[in-house]
Structure 1
């Protein structure tokens, strides 16, 4: 078991730090004495996270605007972070992501496929491409890539989100293998429902949004708990962190009974839609 606790006094870079899991990571790492670069495409939200850290009186933070879909933005982020830290980051958290769902394959627009993959997948690719060589050269530190239980659950009407997160999981596993001969640790965070604003900020049909809101209310956990589990897993050198019981159940079912699991997921989706009120089945996309 690794002895170094990377989550303490870390020089950390977090993408998507303006809200949700990203903000929770920033607050938690700062509370543990860290110096945190809060990056977000919405610089105002990133600055709000920095203000929360400063008001709490723990750690240090600065905000940097970054569009993770642009490689040059991520390269600039790495350079600015190193200048502020006085050296390379100890910890990189590729968290920026969006939600999408509600339409079947063949109905979801190509524009939505492109939008989600650009942020959820290419954003993490850019983060790994830029920061992994720096961590390797430093011979220390860690990286957390925020995937999802969707990366292996393959729920119907969530194709683009599932595919984007499955790609993040495969990328993370590959990176962990490539860094296995170094002290650098790599963790994939795979939560289920977390109490964030991803449903409101994503592109999700009305019926799926209603179901997701209900599931969020019934089973969603605070982002702080998910973050604490992720950091504990990183400190232990875990590749996979599945912070909720339902995530661990799906993980086991999918591997023990893959065909039965897939058929069951389809039947549950059809049952839910047959029993939904007509008004709930209107397919609209949030702005």
Structure 2
């Protein structure tokens, strides 16, 4: 039976220890779903909502994904919803990002999602049902300057998800991609490294948001209920995407003003000699 919208679903969430992942774990559990929250961080059982369990999972580890599949098969005999949410956020000008920076974010944000989909797709096909939800970002649809590595991997997650929407539909498997804008999380306090001109603007965007992770999670579940292929969780993301599609000259001018602002800050403050990325352990 297809249970992807019914209560009591079997749900696995990566990156489930904090931020949007933790909010999603709570939202699913509140609906009466059984949830396996996974993350790199240690999680005390008492920190989890009723109906949730915890498994340490590094999304870059094939062995950890194999262990997660074995845990799901043994405990539940199947899976109804796979949420590939774990990821990192980064920013930096193209001449300040190293190839190691690119490899790092690609391994986590793109191949982490690919590994999750590859691990559980055979099970979902055998069941003839299931729901894959991949967390990307509004940056996967609109592409601000100074975020080339983040934009690129998030756009790849959007493309992967659209591909699977069509590829897995004949097997009864639904796929959605979640594209939130900035929302309040621990991101700003966790920025590390790098490119001061970008770090300042990123912190302003994050701290200035009025949205919470719980609000974003609620929108994700609404989008899943409606089987939306692309789940836009907030007005800012919807407005930016409409501008890109229908008001392209305005969109381009806005992006170029943003890039010009970075250039002027660099010239005033002289941080161009520094290199690196800004990063955190959960999505923004």
Instruction: Specify the TM-score bucket, using the shorter chain as the normaliser.
Output: 0.7 to 0.9
Offset from partner CA, 1:145-196 (integer Å, 9 cap, x none) = 0000000211111000000100000000000011222432211100000222
Shift of 1:63: 1.3
Counterpart residue number, 2:216: 226
**How far, CA to CA, are the matches of 2:35 and 2:71 in structure 1?**
12
1:52 — aligned with what? 47
Match of 1:17 in 2: 16
Q: Distance in 2 between matches of 1:195 and 1:7?
A: 30
Match of 1:137 in 2: 126
Q: CA deviation at 1:271?
A: 2.5
Alignment-derived partner of residue 271 in structure 1: 261
Aligned to 1:239: 229
Cα distance in 1 for partners of 2:270, 2:218 equals: 36
5+ residue gaps in structure 1? none
Query: TM-score when scaled to structure 2?
Result: 0.88
Deviations along 1:24-57, one digit per CA (max 9) or x if unpaired, are 1111111111111111122x1xx24x42334xxx
SS of 1:63's equivalent in the other structure is strand
SS in 1 for 2:177: strand
8 Å Cα contact 2:13-2:84 kept in structure 1: yes
Q: CA deviation at 1:96?
A: 0.6
Larger CA deviation: 152-161 vs 128-137: 128-137
- The answer to whether 1:94 aligns with 2:94 is no
Q: Secondary structure at the match of 2:78?
A: coil
Distance in 1 (alpha carbons) for counterparts of 2:266 and 2:22: 35
Between Structure 1 and Structure 2, how many residues are aligned?
275
Structure 1 residues 141 and 285 mapped into 2: Cα distance closer, same or farther (>3 Å)? closer
Cα distance, 1:125–1:5 mapped onto 2, change above 3 Å: closer
Give matches, 1:191-270, under 5 Å: 191-201=180-190, 203=192, 205-258=195-248, 261-270=251-260
What are the ranges of 5 or more consecutive residues in structure 2 without an aligned counterpart? 280-284
TM-score, with structure 1 as normaliser? 0.87
1:160 to 129, 149, 160: 149
Tell me by how many angstroms 1:115 deviates.
0.5
Distance 1:110 1:200 in 2: 25
Whether the aligned pair in 2 keeps the contact of 1:273 and 1:281 (CA below 8 Å) is no
* Structure 1 SS opposite 2:217: helix
Cα distance in 1 for partners of 2:6, 2:158 equals 21
Match of 2:106 among 101, 107, 117: 117
1:102–1:7: structure 2 CA closer, same or farther, 3 Å change rule?
A: farther
**Residues 4 and 80 in structure 2, CA contact (< 8 A), matched pair in contact too:** no
RMSD, aligned α-carbons:
2.4
Query: Contact 2:196–2:271 (CA<8 Å) still a contact in 1?
Result: yes
Cα 1:229–1:286, aligned 2, differ >3 Å: closer, same or farther? closer
Deviation at 1:276, TM superposition (A): 7.4
State the distance in 2 between where 1:252 and 1:118 align. 31
Which position in structure 1 is the counterpart of 2:70?
79
Alignment partner, residue 180 of structure 1: 169
